[in-house]
Amino acid sequence: MPSIKLVAIILLLGLIPMNLIELPSENTTIKVAVYNYPDEFNKRQVLMALRYTWKNDNEIFSFSYDLVNLSDVLKGKLKKFDVLIIASSAKSYLVDGQNKKWKEEVRKFVRNGGGFLGICGGAIAASRGFKDNFTAFHRLVNRGVLRIADVYVNDDLLQEWQYLFRIGRPSLSKPDDLKGPFSAFPSLNTTVLPSSIIPVGGFRCFGWAGGPGMYAIPRKIKPLLIYNEEPMQTKPINFWLFWNGEWIKLRKIKTDIKNSLAAVSTTYGKGRVVIYGVHPEYPFVFKNGTIKEHVGRMIPMGPKQMVYNYVGYLHNFSYNIWIVRRSIAWAAGLDEKELPPCDETSVWILDPDPCGAIYILGKMKKLYGKIGTPSLILGKPSLRFLTSRNAKMIEIYLDGKILDANVSLMEEGYADLYMAELPEICNGFHILKVRVYDEKGNFAEGITSFYLIKDYNESGRNE
């Protein structure tokens, strides 16, 4: 690589064209530990935020990640990472946090300069818990929290948690339902207090699943978001009783989070901490919506009971994804000018399913596997994926090599749905990657894998 001075002299003399000069650049990779938990759909949302690369002058920044569990933390493996993310996991404080060594390992990681991003359950895990010890649940939570953020939480089982428990899960919308109306967890409106992480003012909606309101102990806390609506007033749901063959409304479920903090940033020792009671990673963010209470099931195949769904129309599915990215990068210690742009660039692969499925001659059977489970394809493979609305260029890679694939925009809605015609692929194991660029060259990626048996006929035999 020639020195900067030598390059400048050569350019001034006009000896070689500018586009043939390789200018120096720096690559920075932020190593992220994602705490493992059972909700594969929510984990995919977090990983969608992490599969992103951005440019700043001559620097290129990206994230890498690994899933970690209780055993990894106890073995001291957090020291390999820059940031720990605990998202929608009550297990982190109700179970793992009861282990004193686990708590001390996480605290030590942050105290020594590691970053921490907590979302919903992860925010409770980082907090000081409840200000009181009135109930057995409060005492359990308070034993399990990390106390790395000087906030108390307000998130009661018979109040805010009911918005998590009583959702009609079998009727939740799927990512490829593009037109709406949609059914999902409600969105709450917040007041944005401008910061380096969220450098905008005004109001912004976020998905909410019964997460905590927070109250700061006035030390090093910087408020980021404030709840400016009360769910019991704007999205009321009720306790019901089935009696004598009919459902009887008992009373409205109470909440009391309005005007409390929905997000804060702070420091603990040498480390930076960002926590959210709302879900900035959640792709279903409503422009408007209405509570619909009905007889349904809280879990698939569970008993019938009175549940709710929130129904309406959505912002783009990547509406808040840049807030997750900027939070992680800030927690990792990046300066404000180095943070990712306020950019929605994202991709979400539908088929082949990144959590594993079986495709028989184009018909799909869901496996409910884990992220990274290869799909099995009997017959011709096809690729479908969603992108953010700002996508300017799409590249498809098979086993690390770029494909000359015919990509078609199939439908527009809260995301753009694409289908790609893949060239002839040999039998065996393959990895597909979709890369989506914005107008500035920043890009997001989606990854999936599959086993292919292409010579398959209707009788179920290889030809």
Which of 463, 403, 398 minimizes the C-alpha distance to 432?
Answer: 398
Residue 12 has pLDDT above 70, yes or no: no
Residue 93 has pLDDT above 90, yes or no: yes
pLDDT-derived band of residue 302, with 50, 70 and 90 as boundaries? confident
**How far are the Cα atoms of 31, 170, 241, 292, 306 from residue 246, in angstroms, in the given order?**
54, 22, 8, 18, 11
pLDDT digits (tens, 9 = 90+) for 105-133: 999 999 999 999 999 999 999 999 999 98
Q: Are 189 and 258 in contact (CB under 8 A)?
A: no
pLDDT digits (tens, 9 = 90+) for 30-59: 999 999 988 888 899 999 999 999 998 889
CB count within 10 Å of CB 165 equals: 12
**How far are the Cα atoms of 258, 390, 423 from residue 407, in angstroms, in the given order?**
46, 16, 12
**How far are the Cα atoms of 184, 229, 424 from residue 208, in angstroms, in the given order?**
10, 12, 44
Residue 8 has pLDDT above 70, yes or no: no
Looking at residue 47, its pLDDT comes to 95
Helix axes 40-50, 321-331, angle to 10 degrees: 70
**How far are the Cα atoms of 228, 385, 433 from residue 424, in angstroms, in the given order?**
54, 19, 16
Residue with tokens 């030390």: 219
Average pLDDT, the chain: 90
CATH class of 30-338: alpha beta
Outline where 129-176 has alpha helix (H).
136-144, 162-165
Query: Going by DSSP bridges, is the β-strand pair 26-35/59-68 parallel, antiparallel, or unpaired?
Result: parallel
Helix or strand run (H / E) with residue 438: none
CATH class of 347-453: mainly beta
| Mean pLDDT, range 290-295, rounded to an integer | 95
Outline where 77-205 has alpha helix (H).
91-94, 100-111, 121-126, 136-144, 162-165
Which of 278, 282, 449, 290 minimizes the C-alpha distance to 369?
Answer: 449
| Mean pLDDT, range 190-196, rounded to an integer | 96
pLDDT digits (tens, 9 = 90+) for 243-263: 999 999 999 999 999 999 999
What DSSP state is assigned to residue 164? H
pLDDT digits (tens, 9 = 90+) for 219-231: 789 999 999 999 9
Helix or strand run (H / E) with residue 318: none
**How far are the Cα atoms of 125, 128, 366 from residue 267, in angstroms, in the given order?**
15, 14, 43
Phi, psi of 94 (to 5 degrees): -75, -30
pLDDT-derived band of residue 25, with 50, 70 and 90 as boundaries? low
Looking at residue 9, its pLDDT comes to 33
Q: Are 180 and 223 in contact (CB under 8 A)?
A: no
Looking at residue 188, its pLDDT comes to 98
Name the residue type at position 400: G
Instruction: Work out the percent of the chain whose per-residue pLDDT is above 70.
Output: 93
CB count within 10 Å of CB 174 equals: 9
Measured distance CA(26)–CA(381) in Å, rounded: 38
Half-sphere exposure of 167 (CA within 13 A, CB side): 18
Measured distance CA(410)–CA(197) in Å, rounded: 35
| Mean pLDDT, range 194-214, rounded to an integer | 95
Tokens read off for 18: 């500018």
Tokens read off for 39: 């909700």
User: What is the residue extent of each domain of the chain?
Assistant: 30-338, 347-453
Residue 139 has pLDDT above 80, yes or no: yes
Residue with tokens 């043939």: 20
Half-sphere exposure of 84 (CA within 13 A, CB side): 33
Strand partners, 34: 67, 85
